[in-house]
């Protein structure tokens, strides 16, 4: 059998023919794509020039669409390419990077010096000349909340997880917080969405928050159902009850859970219809004045057998003074076992912008004002004071102890420990990190087991570094910090002790 070989000329002709056919095919595909592009351009042109809702698109068809695209992408590009480390809002890159570092590796060091601006209002801690060495610090006695209740509570951590409900957060996020709280030995506030199985999964200490709708322990009219509350409190992990009057992001307006987040499971836990927005009343239906509020609080305390307190945002001090006067009239036993003060700049997944931006005092004003009011009425030893509201770094937490706090809660700090990238999609069910979405595809990115370790690391690192500040100031424990231990930078550039800067007469 003889093999026949093509001549070089024939081979070249075959290759040339193949190349020409390939080029013709590419040319045809290009023309087809170009035709589709032109057709799409024409369709968009017609749609834009004929619509009347958007003036920019009508006057500049097709091109005007890029304005919205660039505006949408701008917030993400600014975060990575343009914003300085300490200028972003609501939290800057330096704060987020610190949390990311300690959650991954524990306490970290930084090189070369501070990048912090000493603008007027900045806090500087007054270090002592002869701080104690390791082993010389006196152990602090347990801080007990609700001594007169059947089940008093002695928390083991002064830094804890603030209110975040299942519904606002996803299932794996709540699971990670629950297990992380157990690892760190801190409490987890359930938020106003009721006690879910995922809050209980880690067997951590729980603070059951009753918002104005009283999800989980409610009647249909949002009034308290004592029997349901008793049933829930059979769980020994529920250590306290927090009656929420208002929160920092939306004082005067109840909680908002968009309809797209009200799944069948969430509706069952909360006792509400599936697929309808859950909008809580703007106040408790039973409490329209201080007397009725104390009646409700004591009803909850009697039914639950747990230390019971209230959470609110201070706006005008007058109604707060009326509440304190009613407590004095009835006697100290009628008082809340604790008061949680939230700053007017607190966070949430969904709230009207006018309330987020403009309503309620910040924690910088309200915390020391509340501390002064309780001290002047001899109630400070009776009522524990908890601070909440944008306190996510050791310096901010240490400042809160200087201003009068017994404990500090954080929500968004722990969200960053879960991997939050501040995408600002909390209210759209499209959170890219799986923290605030019920889209199972997006939730897959959040591994509860791994994230629980990061939650624990954040809490432990925070406690360690706040204690480090306290020890530097010459005291044994953060609760021993006073207003003389923190200096506030003035407009002149010089600093004064907070005790001299604070005008307590304005609030009393």
Q: Two tokens at 455?
A: 């939650």
Please identify which residue in the block is written with the tokens 């690892």: 183
Q: What is the DSSP letter of 474?
A: T
Q: Two tokens at 508?
A: 């009393």
Please identify which residue in the block is written with the tokens 């912008």: 353
Rounded CA-CA distance 403/171 in Å is 36
Rounded CA-CA distance 187/459 in Å is 11
Residues in the chain: 508
Per the DSSP assignment, residues forming a β-bridge with 309 are 242
For 213, residues 6+ apart whose C-beta sits below 8 A from its C-beta are 192, 222, 254, 255, 270, 272, 278, 280, 281
Assess contact for 405 and 350: CB atoms under 8 A: no
Assess contact for 121 and 502: CB atoms under 8 A: no
Please state the φ and ψ torsions of residue 149, each to the nearest 5 degrees: -85, 160
> Helix, strand, coil: what percent of the chain each, to 5?
45, 10, 45
Architecture of domain 123-129+144-506: Alpha-Beta Barrel (3.20)
Write down the pLDDT at residue 175: 95
Write down the pLDDT at residue 195: 93
Q: How far is CA 105 from the centre of its chain?
A: 22
Can you list the residues of the chain whose pLDDT is less than 70?
1-15, 17, 19, 71-94, 96, 98, 106-113, 115, 248-253, 255, 346-358
Write down the pLDDT at residue 503: 87
Q: How deeply is 233 buried, as exposed, middle or buried, from its count of CB atoms within 10 A (0-12, 13-18, 19+)? A: buried
Write down the pLDDT at residue 139: 86
Q: What is the β-pairing status of strands 278-279 and 256-257?
A: antiparallel
Assess contact for 404 and 411: CB atoms under 8 A: no
DSSP track, 320-379: HHHHHHHHHHH-GGGS-SEEEEEPTT---SS--HHHHHHSS--HHHHHHHHHHHHHHTT-
Write down the pLDDT at residue 91: 67
Q: Which residues of the chain form CATH 3.20.20.70?
A: 123-129+144-506
Assess contact for 337 and 302: CB atoms under 8 A: no
Secondary element (H or E) of residue 312: strand 308-313
Question: Within a 10 A sphere around the Cβ of 192, how many other Cβ atoms?
Answer: 29
Write down the pLDDT at residue 376: 96
CA dihedral 268, 271, 273, 274 (to 10 degrees): -20
Radius of gyration for the alpha carbons in the chain, expressed in angstroms and rounded: 29
Residue-wise pLDDT tens digits, 63-117: 888 777 776 666 666 666 656 555 666 666 667 676 777 787 766 666 656 767 7
pTM of the full structure: 0.83
Write down the pLDDT at residue 2: 52
Q: Two tokens at 425?
A: 């999609």
């Amino acid at each position: 059998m003889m093999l026949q070989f093509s001549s070089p000329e024939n081979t070249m002709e075959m290759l040339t023919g193949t190349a020409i056919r390939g080029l013709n095919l590419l040319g045809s595909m290009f023309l087809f794509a170009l035709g589709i592009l032109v057709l799409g351009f024409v369709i968009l042109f017609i749609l834009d020039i004929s619509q009347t809702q958007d003036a920019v698109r009508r006057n500049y068809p097709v091109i005007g669409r890029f304005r919205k695209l660039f505006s949408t992408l701008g917030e993400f590009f600014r975060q990575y390419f343009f914003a300085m480390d300490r200028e972003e809002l609501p939290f800057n890159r330096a704060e987020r990077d610190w949390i990311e570092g300690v959650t991954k590796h524990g306490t970290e060091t930084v090189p070369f010096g501070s990048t912090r601006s000493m603008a007027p209002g900045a806090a500087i801690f007054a270090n002592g000349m002869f701080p104690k060495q390791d082993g010389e610090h006196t152990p602090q006695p347990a801080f007990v909340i609700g001594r007169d209740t059947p089940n008093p509570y002695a928390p083991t951590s002064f830094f804890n997880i603030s209110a975040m409900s299942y519904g606002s957060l996803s299932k794996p996020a709540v699971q990670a917080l629950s297990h992380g709280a157990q690892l760190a030995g801190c409490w987890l506030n359930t938020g106003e969405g009721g006690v879910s199985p995922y809050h209980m999964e880690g067997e951590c200490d729980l603070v059951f928050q009753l918002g104005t709708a009283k999800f989980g322990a409610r009647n249909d009219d949002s009034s308290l159902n004592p029997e349901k509350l008793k049933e829930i409190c059979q769980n020994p992990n529920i250590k306290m009850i927090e009656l929420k009057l208002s929160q920092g992001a939306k004082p005067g307006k109840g909680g908002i859970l968009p309809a797209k987040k009200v799944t069948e499971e969430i509706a069952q836990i909360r006792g509400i219809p599936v697929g309808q927005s859950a909008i809580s009343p703007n106040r408790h239906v039973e409490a329209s004045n201080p007397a009725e509020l104390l009646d409700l609080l004591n009803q909850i305390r009697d039914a639950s057998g747990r230390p019971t307190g209230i959470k609110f945002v201070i706006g005008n001090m007058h109604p707060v003074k009326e509440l304190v006067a009613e407590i004095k009239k009835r006697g100290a036993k009628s008082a809340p076992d604790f008061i949680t003060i939230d700053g007017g700049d607190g966070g949430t997944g969904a709230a009207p912008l006018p309330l987020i931006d403009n309503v309620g005092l910040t924690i910088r004003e309200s915390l020391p004002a509340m501390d002064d009011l309780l001290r002047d009425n001899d109630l400070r030893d009776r009522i524990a004071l908890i601070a909440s509201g944008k306190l996510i770094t050791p310096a901010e937490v240490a400042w809160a102890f200087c201003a009068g706090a017994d404990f500090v809660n954080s929500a968004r700090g722990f969200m960053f420990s879960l991997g939050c990238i501040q995408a600002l999609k909390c209210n759209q069910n499209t959170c890219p990190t799986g923290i605030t979405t019920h889209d199972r595809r997006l939730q897959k990115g959040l591994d509860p087991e791994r994230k629980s370790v990061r939650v624990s690391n954040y809490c432990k690192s925070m406690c360690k570094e706040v204690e480090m500040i306290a020890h530097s100031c010459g005291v044994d424990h953060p609760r021993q910090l006073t207003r003389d231990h923190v200096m506030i930078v003035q407009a002149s550039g010089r600093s004064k002790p907070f005790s001299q800067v604070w005008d307590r007469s304005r609030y009393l």
